[in-house]
Amino acid sequence: MLKRKMLKRTKITFIKKIAFIIAQVMIVASLISACSGGGQPLVSIGAASESNGEPAETSENLPEAAAEDSGLDATPFNVENGAVVRFLHIYPEHADAIAKSIEIIERDYPLTVEVSVTPWNEVTKTIQTASASGEMYDTFFQWNSQVPGYDQSGLLLDLTPYFEADPTWEPNFLNEECLTQYANLDGKIMGIPLRGTGVFIIYNKTMFDENGWTIPGTEEELAELCEKIIADTDEKITPIMAPGKPNGFQMESARAKIFDHIVYMAGEIENPLRLTDRMIDWQGLYAKSGEIMKDWYQRDFFGKNPFGLEREEGQTVFFTGTASMLLCNNNELIALRDMNEETGNYELGSFMWPAPKDCDETLFTSAGFGDGWGAWAGSKYPNAAAAFLRGMSSSEVMTIWANQERCVVAASGIVYADSLQQSFADQFARSGKYRVVPDYNTGNLGTNRSQVFVDYMTDDTMTADEFERQINELTRKAIEDAEE
């Protein structure tokens, strides 16, 4: 009896040991596989990726067929056999347009698209992680401000050879400026624009008509109108709703509008240092724009708490009829329309931020085609990735984004059914002349500047000169960082 018991215990101990050893082996094996996987090195532009033992086709292997005009909107790029293009975007709200775009691209090119989506504020991290792990997306969303940084890291596929091989591609874009300002580095095209973003003032026309308010023609008239609105409504109506969260958001956009005109009047608008965002001594111009904004802010032209409101909250305030104007970007158009139908049913109008009376041109410099796509230099299927981007900029796809998603797209020959949208598009068409296009990796310079702006606006002890000094200092450091 005792012997049997002991034998049983020995068996159990033995089974336990075996199970434990198996578990250990599994853990060690999984650790080894986890550490060895994902270590695929990145390849530089034009280099071959040999991760699967086959040399990758590069832009240098572009087929002659690509140069031929097939008569179709989508010109074949001799896409690699069995190409699977991994695509990362940030537009869950445009999922339908993405699906339709991919359907068209897969119809026109022999490739398959695998879609991934990430929140807009996570996209840089997503790309960085994917890139560092060697599992980068073949095509991905990028803002134009990120292009120099990505290029510096060897991330971007040079699309220039594809544009040269397919002369029908470039005319697809609205104008040369929108393409070159998006991602042209030293004559190389490192990405393609999708849509434009610019700040406008949308106003409650119903409210304006009822109160006899008129659209201001100059910046001074805008200030007078704000004063009048506050006086007429006993401070119950916020003249301009400019949500300032996060990092100043539209409040900073308003300052930028004021600043652009100041710079123009000072004759510095075409200063090459300004156009490349390398100005590190504004000689009081930046301070002046800050002073005007602070004055307007302290006179409650933007309400009591603009820095506490995010975009959606600002929209809500506007549509509940407690603000007469809303500073917003054109891509909010759909949301605004929907909200208008649900809530107030006001008649809406829009106008650009007006120039001061001494300024002979109303500028639209801070708008531009900043949203777009890039392709990965280390892609196993570079031709397919380029073909995908070619497809994304085709008239058929761009029309979907224009009509269905109400975007102002970077494409030529689009006629917008919506008059408001058409007016935005007209502004974009002539917006590029004075646009600032950094020629270095600005990193988080934009965010840092906006934060200093909010510091200045909310800190009574901070002077305008100190504000400008800090802005100059940030720019100097960003340039140094980029050139390090």
Cβ proximity to other proteins, 153 vs 276, nearer residue: 153
Please name which of 472, 188, 172 lies closest in space to residue 180, comparing C-alpha atoms. 188
What distance in Å separates the CA atoms of residue 281 and residue 277, rounded to the nearest whole number? 11
String marking each residue 257-296 x if it binds other proteins according to CB under 8 A: ----------------------------------------
Q: How far apart are CA 374 and CA 389, in angstroms?
A: 8
Minimum distance between the CB of residue 426 and other proteins, rounded to whole angstroms? 33
Cα angle at 361 between 355 and 363, to 5 degrees? 65
> Which residues in the 137-166 window bind other proteins by CB under 8 A?
149-150, 152-155
Segment lying near other proteins (by CB under 8 A), choices 245-253, 326-334, 347-355, 402-410:
245-253
441 counts as binding other proteins under rule CB under 8 A: yes
Cβ-defined contacts of 89-96 (< 8 Å, 24+): 89/115, 89/116, 89/117, 89/118, 89/140, 89/141, 90/117, 90/118, 90/119, 90/120, 90/123, 90/141, 91/117, 91/141, 92/117, 94/401, 94/405, 96/404
Considering the complex, state which of residue 364 and residue 440 has its C-beta at the smaller distance from other proteins.
440
Q: What is the CA angle 230-233-235, rounded to 5? A: 50
The correct pick among 20, 103, 271, 358 for binding other proteins (CB under 8 A) is 20
Choice from 7, 15, 22, 27 touching other proteins (CB under 8 A) = 27
Q: Is 444 in the site for other proteins (CB under 8 A)?
A: yes
The nearer residue to other proteins, 228 or 311, going by C-beta atoms, is 311
Cα distance between residue 191 and residue 193, in whole Å: 7
24 is a site residue for other proteins (CB under 8 A)? yes
**Of 27 and 65, CB closest to other proteins:** 27
Q: Which CB atom, from 235 or from 426, has the smaller least distance to other proteins?
A: 235
**422: contact with other proteins by CB under 8 A:** no
User: Total residues contacting other proteins (rule CB under 8 A)?
Assistant: 47
| Residue 28 is a binding residue for other proteins (CB under 8 A) | yes
Quick one: which of 42, 115, 266, 334 contacts other proteins (CB under 8 A)? 42
What value does the CA radius of gyration of the chain take, rounded to a whole number of Å? 27
DSSP state at residue 401: I
Q: If residue 47 lies in a helix (H) or strand (E), which one and from where to where?
A: none
CA distance 436 to 203: 28
| 213 close to 349: Cβ distance less than 8 angstroms | no
Give the span between the Cα atoms of 59 and 166, in whole angstroms: 13
Task: Kindly state the smallest distance separating residue 459's Cβ from other proteins, in Å.
Answer: 6
Residues at the contact surface with other proteins, assessed by CB under 8 A: 20, 24, 27-28, 31, 35, 41-42, 124-125, 128, 131-132, 149-150, 152-155, 244-247, 304-305, 307-309, 313, 317, 441, 443-444, 447-448, 451-459, 477, 481, 484
